[in-house]
Chains A and B, each alone.
Chain A
Amino acid sequence: EPEVTQTPSHQVTQMGQEVILRCVPISNHLYFYWYRQILGQKVEFLVSFYNNEISEKSEIFDDQFSVERPDGSNFTLKIRSTKLEDSAMYFCASSEGTWAYEQYFGPGTRLTVT
């Protein structure tokens, strides 16, 4: 069964460093998303991406965040200068379409900023 994959599973970085989180969405899916979940809190939407551009972004997704689809399979989230409060699980998700389609999540990357 196709699934969303993410690497790395755990990333430890120092405050102020840049990190890139990688995702491979399900191959026939066209819509891609990043969410995050701070420990003990709810899952929060960050950004949606379609046709090689950002469709929608939340207030959390400020100028330190960027997304890219560098090739036909990968989808990346870059955090330019990490802060302690960026420590969270970051989930990539994908779907065939928008509101009328299932959205499948990857296993997540645990980001720890020290």
Chain B
Amino acid sequence: QKEVEQNSGPLSVPEGAIASLNCTYSDRGSQSFFWYRQYSGKSPELIMFIYSNGDKEDGRFTAQLNKASQYVSLLIRDSQPSDSATYLCAVNPSGYGGSQGNLIFGKGTKLSVKP
């Protein structure tokens, strides 16, 4: 069973701080990794996508991937109250299904940014 694990939270940070969200996955052959933001009652919104080891930065967001440790993280710098949402980690697994792009999601981490 291919699993994606995240702490459910809630993770509470003050406005302006760095929020650090973590995700581990069980399938060592996983190919690509996604971070989505989901507001309550809404659909997942793509924030970052990474498939090479190391860091990838986009504005206030940095995704970090370590395939050897089967670990992917998302850093949010200068956190704002509008960043308060559930952050979903999704993994494109190995094998035929993964090669077709289907994603396995974690349960998500709820982030609360306090003004």
Contact = CB atoms under 8 A, between A and B. Distances in A.
B43 interface: yes
Interface in A80-114: 89, 91, 95, 97-108
Contacts of B107: 41-42
Contacts of B97: 48, 56
Interface stretch (B16-24, B45-53, B66-74, B76-84): B45-53
Contacts of A107: 42-43
Contact of B101 (A42, A99, A105): A99
Interface string B79-103: 0000000001010100011111111
Contacts of A35: 103
A102 B46 CA distance: 8
Given A42-B107, A42-B108, A56-B96, A97 B88 contact: no
Contact of B92 (A44, A99, A104): A99
Contact of A99 (B42, B46, B99): B99
Contacts of A48: 97, 100-102
Contact of A45 (B46, B103, B108): B103
Q: Identify whether the interface residues of B are mostly helix, strand, loop, or mixed.
A: mixed
User: Which of under 10, 10 to 19, 20 to 34, or 35 or more describes the interface residues of A?
Assistant: 20 to 34
B25 interface: no
Interface string B31-50: 11010100000111110010
A55 B100 contact: yes
Nearest to B101: A98
Given A31-B100, A99-B51, A108 B105 contact: no
Contacts of A75: none
20 contacts: A33-B101, A33-B102, A42-B88, A43-B103, A45-B102, A48-B102, A56-B96, A91-B44, A97-B101, A98-B99, A99-B31, A100-B32, A102-B46, A102-B49, A103-B46, A103-B101, A103-B103, A105-B36, A105-B44, A107-B42
